[in-house]
Amino acid sequence: MKKIFPIVVIIAIVIIAGFLVWWQFVREVPKPITNFEECATAGNPVMESYPRQCRTKDGRNFVEILPSPSPLDSGVSGIVLLGPTCPVQRITPDPNCADKPYKTIVQVIAVGSPKSAAFAIVESNDQGQYKAMLPPGEYALQPIGGNPLPRCETKNVTIEPNVIKEVNLSCDTGIR
């Protein structure tokens, strides 16, 4: 019995070692997650944002990469004007009292979105000119005025494919 016991122990150790080696090769080792698709396929939660985001159990976050859109060939352009610039209007308009170009920021808000979420932000130049390339849809254009003046108007515009629509905007100085 003394000679059989060490052989049985050695055989048992070899079988257990063989099983452990076989188990390492056969078991499925989870693939490391390196992108949004792998994260979502692994069953991790996907957030309903745009673009969508997926968070792994260990706290890593992956953002869905969207196909890049084709170059935009539609949008809006125009001039932002500030007026009146003189306190009294005359019968014969004084050219020095004409509305002046206004350098400011113009927010483009998609109609139906929260008012605080600008779709695009562009800046008018020293001549008051602005341009925003946009996909077709309905938008509100809002120049940013001061507090309380100038007070700028908001204009709604419908952008059509392949068209740059001209929309001039005005801001009221409050001079009367």
My answer on whether 89 and 63 are in the same domain is no
My answer on whether 35 and 117 are in the same domain is no
Q: Which residues pair with 62 in a beta bridge?
A: 54
Q: How far apart are CA 160 and CA 151, in angstroms?
A: 28
Which carries the bigger pLDDT value, residue 28 or residue 48?
48
- The secondary structure of residue 111, as a DSSP letter, is T
Say yes or no to pLDDT of 68 above 70: no
My answer on whether 82 and 54 are in the same domain is no
Average pLDDT for 16-40:
80
Distances from the Cα of 124 to the Cαs of 50, 127, 132, in angstroms?
A: 28, 8, 10
Percent share of the chain, pLDDT over 90: 43
Task: State the pLDDT confidence band at 156, using cuts at 50, 70 and 90.
Answer: very high
Q: How far apart are CA 134 and CA 160, in angstroms?
A: 9
Q: Is residue 24 part of a domain?
A: no
My answer on whether 83 and 143 are in the same domain is yes
Give the model confidence (pLDDT) of 128-153 as tens digits. 999 999 999 999 999 988 778 899 99
pTM over 0.75: no
Provide the residue range defining the domain that includes 107: 75-172
> Which of 68, 88, 122 is a domain's end point?
68
DSSP string, 3-58: THHHHHHHHHHHHHHHHHHHHHHHSPPPPPP-SHHHHHHTT--EE-SSS-EEE-TT
Which carries the bigger pLDDT value, residue 83 or residue 30?
83
Say yes or no to pLDDT of 84 above 70: yes
Q: How far apart are CA 173 and CA 176, in angstroms?
A: 9
My answer on whether 84 and 53 are in the same domain is no
My answer on whether 83 and 168 are in the same domain is yes
Which carries the bigger pLDDT value, residue 112 or residue 165?
165
My answer on whether 61 and 118 are in the same domain is no
Residue owning tokens 């254009």: 141
